[in-house]
Amino acid sequence: MSHHIVEFTDVHYSYPDGTAALKGLSLRITHGEAVGIVGANGSGKSTLLMHTNGYLLPQSGTITIGDSQLDKSTRQEIRKKVGLIFQNPDDQLFMPSVFDDVAFGPLNLGLKPERVEQRVIEALETVGCLALKDKPPHHLSGGQKSAVAIATVIAMQPDILVMDEPASHLDPKSRRALIRLLGHFEHTKIIASHDLDLILDVCRRCVIIKEGRVVADGPAEEILSDRQLLEANNLELPLSLQKRVLPSGGTMDDISKLKHLLGHWAEHNIEHARTYLDWSKKANAIGKTELSAILKQIADETEKLDGLFKSAEKLCSADIKPQ
Amino acid sequence: MTFDKEYFNLGYLDILSYKDTFIHRLDPRTKLCATVFFIVMVVSFPKYEVSGLLPFLLFPVLLFSLGDIPVKFIMKKVLLVSSFAFFIGIFNPLLDRQTMYVLYGVKFSGGWVSFLSIMLKFFLTITSALLLIATTSFPGICLALRKFGIPDIFISQLLFLYRYIFVLVEETMKVVRARDMRSFGNRGRGMIAFSGIIGTLFLRTVERAERIYQAMLSRGFSGALHPTKPYVLTGADALFFAITVTVLYLLRMHDVVGAAGKLSVRIF
Amino acid sequence: MHMADALLSPAAGATFWAGTIGAIAYCSKKLKENMDEKLIPLMGVLGAFIFAAQMINFTIPGTGSSGHLGGGMILAIILGPCPAFIVMASVLTVQALFFADGGLLALGCNIWNLGIYPCFVGYPLIYEPLTKGTAGPKRIFVAALISGVVALQLGAFSVVIETMLSGRSELPFSTFAMMMQPIHLGIGIVEGFVTAGVINFVRAARPEILQSVALARPISAGGPSRKVLACLLVAALFTGGALSWFASDNPDGLEWSIERVFGKPELPEHESGIAPALKKIQEKTAFLPDYKLRARAERAGGQESGKDEKTLPSADAGTSVSGVIGSAMVIGLILLIGLGLRLARKNKTAQKTTGNDIR
């Protein structure tokens, strides 16, 4: 059993159109680690991922995966060790049936059909999709597709799992199922995502990429609770960590809720006033003058409330200070 | 027909093809051969044949019932595509006015007879083609074609195409809806907007192909695709095919309607 | 303008299927020999793209009617003749199955009409020569227009040929052609416009895409040389046209035309002797029924018309009435069988679902 280390040493890469995506990126990931890769759009995350299985080759610097250094001759071998899962499951399920898709990898590895079938069934069982074995991919729901896409990769039994935005197409329930699933995997996991809460839940270590370089590297809990660091990199605190306490004691959540409600009520208030006025006129038209007068009074009072609503809203805004 | 409806029909027919009935379980090769044989028999009837075609209704009716296929749905589709055959066929009564049959004093020209023949043939052939796909999944048909010697490249192309039709149609639908929401009457739906839409979709398609290729490489692709699911011909297949071919052949050769008619005349 | 099974005879359908299968085999071989594996997903997805694009309708200026994209030319320009033909054939196959566009026998004709002409005539013989080297948008426009028009004219003409050779329609050759060609002139112009629009759009937006696809194209995707193509085309059109001309006056065109061309004399019908016995055996063993059957049917009472149209069978009131009653009986019986089976199935499935329903 070799070390399955993933090591990037001063890697540079520019796209054919001239965009420099990686400008001296160095990173070392050891066996069994779960690492989250975060960064703004255009920071180089996707480019980094595409290097891990040799789809792109570094223009300078070296990449070592396991025992081999990545280059044209070794990349086929490296692909046996590194399983890359893309953002859009539709791009990865291209065979006529789920079984065929999951079998694609093992067959390409040269395994015999019986072994392939075994692998397929194991992989599908792991992701909980064995019942979908004979279905065509376009009959699957988003969550099912994501799960099957993962199965297509783990059927090859890679040592390292690399994932690009694994939960972006998923509804909350499927997302939670995915997080649970990833927790069970013992592979080395490298996950690039904007979903910082997912990274927090799945990864022990977190790396921030900016302008093609690593700018921060440490325990996920530390990195992802450092608001200044995150905001300097076009990021934000994970949603689960975004709670602010006000001087008055109420939480941020309540005040914003109230502000929202006040706006809502103020709108309705004006509508009500108008309705009362309309009916007042109608009453007048059928001769009910006293009734009409009372309705008009109600309408006027209601209109006056408008000012009160507006003041209340202003007070709410005062409390929401940028920190 | 609007885009949305067409897409729904496509999807519905596709889902039907994955049902589980006796007919669905038959090997796709059997169904393909039976359907082709049926079509050739129907089409081989000469120009003025009408009554000989009627017993052939048995084949689609049996498939509808045994395969549990909704009749109305298929009939709607048949109607929808009937225009070309109709518009060419309708010239027959206009051009061929020689009386062919006289029934209770009403004269029927040869043209009407041949027109009716065309429309009956149309109905039978189109219905059977739809029933083929409704009872056999598309990948099944592709594998059947492969067994019959169609080159692998073409089979891969068919399977890939099928896989991504639904994805692309959905993508296209979104773009079309966006266009329709911003066009009024005929403005905005012209050829220039269309070219722009198509051009954009084309670029997105190429990008998608790139990503798919990436995914294929990641899983070790080196040029060959191996679709699995070996179909096995069973006794049921042999029986079905033998019976179908025999019955259809006999129907083609013998005048069932005439016999039935003579029988009834004798009885009553 | 898709050909329909109902207008085809088995012989005509089989002829065009033979041509189509030959072309598919040829292109597949060419691709297998030297294709960048990158083309596999690209061709597949482009096919889906064309399929989806054909579902969008747009309004044609001036007429207000709606038009649709054919797509053959766009594919040929982007992928080259052989890959484009494979893609077009696959799209038409899916349409034939899912949309019942024409039918399965006619599919062979449709792949020929809508695939061969844009990919092997329009592109290599017209578009490519005109746009060699650095071609600006205007040149592309003209080339796309001309090639689109020509490809569609040839396609429409083929429909005429196929119909004539089948002999199911009464339309004489010239009338039918006079109808089809002008209509498809308009369609061809629109196709050319849209093709040019898309190509120019892509060139302006992301020119490197066209280049990278071009690099992935097989080197000999041009298929046969231009001279060969041109000669084949002329020969095919001439033969088809000539046969159709003969065929238009006779009921079952292709069979009749072939006999005419190859000079096979007709066998006179003998009433006695070995001939009728042999005929009977032939009828019983013949796979594709032919003229012999018709002759027999003639003897059976004249309900089907013979090959010789000039002597229309006299209308026999008795057989006509029994024919109608017989038809009603047959249809009724068939419907009863159908309904019965359906009810039987419903009972079966009702019994089944009282069991466990595991999701």
- Structural domain boundaries of chain A? 6-236, 252-319
Residue C304 has pLDDT above 80, yes or no: no
Question: Does C345 or C84 have the greater pLDDT score?
Answer: C84
Closest Cα in chain A, distance from residue C42 (Å): 12
Give every residue of chain A whose pLDDT is below 70, as ranges.
1-3, 243-253, 319-323
The domain tally of chain B equals: 2
Residues of C with CB below 8 A from A17's CB?
208
For A102, half-sphere exposure in the C-beta direction (CA atoms, 13 angstrom radius) is 34
pLDDT, residue C107, reads 94
Cβ of A91 within 8 Å of Cβ of B227? The answer is no
pLDDT for position C49:
93
Rounded to 5°, angle at Cα B170 from B168 and B176: 100
CA distance A147 to A238: 24
Whether residues B125 and B26 fall in one domain:
yes
Q: Is the pLDDT of residue C350 over 90?
A: no
The interface residues of chain B toward chain C in range 218-247, judged by CB-CB distance below 8 A, are: 221-223, 225
- Of the candidates A105, A198, A206, the one whose C-alpha atom is nearest the C-alpha of residue A150 is A105
Neighbours of chain C (3+ CB pairs under 8 A): A, B
Q: Is the CATH code 1.10.3720.10 the one for domain A6-236?
A: no
Helix (H, G, I), strand (E, B) or coil at B189: coil
pLDDT at B224 over 80: no
Measured in angstroms, the CA of C151 and the nearest CA of chain B are apart by 20
Predicted local distance difference test score (pLDDT) of residue C316: 47
The C-alpha atoms of residue A227 and residue A233 are separated, in whole angstroms, by 10
Asked if the model's pLDDT at residue C310 lies above 50, the reply is no
Mean pLDDT of C272-300: 44
Weakest-pLDDT range from A86-90, B224-228, C162-166, C279-283: C279-283
Q: What is the pTM of this model?
A: 0.78
Chain A residues interacting with chain B (CB cutoff of 8 angstroms) = 50, 53, 55, 76, 79-80, 83-84, 86, 88, 90-97, 99-100, 103-105, 107-109, 113, 134-139, 152-153, 156
Give the mean model confidence (pLDDT) for residues C202-218. 80
Predicted confidence (pLDDT) at residue C188 exceeds the cutoff of 80: yes
C 235-294 → B contacts, CB under 8 A: 251-252, 283-284, 288-289, 293-294
Q: Which of A9-13, B84-88, C131-135, C246-250 has maximum average pLDDT? A: A9-13
When pLDDT is cut at 50, 70 and 90, the band that residue C208 belongs to is confident
HEC assignment per residue over chain C: CCCCHHHCCHHHHHHHHHHHHHHHHHHHHHHHHCCCCCHHHHHHHHHHHHHHHCCCCEECCCCCCEECCCCHHHHHHHHCHHHHHHHHHHHHHHHHHHCCCCCHHHHHHHHHHHHHHHHHHHHHHHHHHHCCCCCCHHHHHHHHHHHHHHHHHHHHHHHHHHHHHHCCCCCCHHHHHHHHHHHHHHHHHHHHHHHHHHHHHHHHHCHHHHHHHHHHCCCCCCCCCHHHHHHHHHHHHHHHHHHHHHHCCCCCHHHHHHHHHHCCCCCCCCCCCHHHHHHHHHHHHCCCCCHHHHHHHHHCCCCCCCCCCCCCCCCCHHHHHHHHHHHHHHHHHHHHHHHHHHHHHHHHHHHHCCCCCCC
pLDDT at residue C271 in the model: 40
Is pLDDT larger for residue B256 or for residue B135?
B135
Which of A172-186, B115-129, C105-119, C145-159 has the lowest average pLDDT?
A: A172-186
Q: How far is B227 from chain A (nearest CA, A)?
A: 6
Do residues B125 and B155 both lie within one domain?
Answer: no
The band of B3, judged by pLDDT with boundaries at 50, 70 and 90, is low
Q: Is C41 near chain A, with CB under 8 Å?
A: yes
Residues of B in contact with A79 (CB under 8 A): 217-220
- Model confidence at B239, pLDDT cuts 50, 70, 90, reads confident
Q: Does B142 touch chain A (CB under 8 A)?
A: yes
> For residue C253, what pLDDT is reported?
62
Q: Is the pLDDT of residue C51 over 50?
A: yes
pLDDT the model gives residue C260: 62
Residues C292-315, mean pLDDT to the nearest whole number: 38
Between B123 and C66, whose confidence is greater?
Answer: B123
pLDDT number for residue B39: 93
Cβ-Cβ contacts under 8 Å, C44 against chain A = 94
CATH of domain C5-257: 1.10.1760.20
If pLDDT is split at 50, 70 and 90, which confidence band does C268 have?
Answer: very low
B171 and B111 within one domain? no
Range of the domain at B196: 138-225
Token output for B85: 């055959």
Give C263's pLDDT tier (boundaries 50, 70, 90).
Answer: low
- Note whether B151 and B124 are same-domain residues: no
Higher pLDDT, C18 or C183: C18
Question: Which of C198, C284, C304 is opposite residue B202, by nearest beta carbon?
Answer: C198
Q: Where are the domains of chain C?
A: 5-257, 280-308
Read off the pLDDT of each residue in B178-189 and give the average, rounded to a whole number. Answer: 73
Do B216 and B240 fall within a single domain?
no
Secondary structure (H, E, C), chain A = CCCCCEEEEEEEEECCCCCEEEEEEEEEECCCCEEEEEECCCCCHHHHHHHHCCCCCCCEEEEEECCEECCCCCHHHHHHHEEEECCCHHHCCCCCCHHHHHHHHHHHHCCCHHHHHHHHHHHHHHHCCHHHCCCCHHHCCHHHHHHHHHHHHHCCCCCEEEEECCCCCCCHHHHHHHHHHHHHCCCEEEEECCCHHHHHHHCCEEEEEECCEEEEEEEHHHHCCCHHHHHHCCCCCCHHHCCCECCCCCEHHHHHHHHHHHHHHHHHHHHHHHHHHHHHHHHHHCCCHHHHHHHHHHHHHHHHHHHHHHHHHHHHHHHCCCC
For residues B36 and B131, state if they share a domain.
Answer: yes
Contact indicator for C123, C115 with CB cutoff of 8 Å? no
- Residue C214, pLDDT above cutoff 90: no
State pLDDT tens for residues A184-221: 888 899 999 999 989 988 998 999 999 999 999 998 88
Position C54 confidence tier, pLDDT thresholds 50, 70, 90: confident
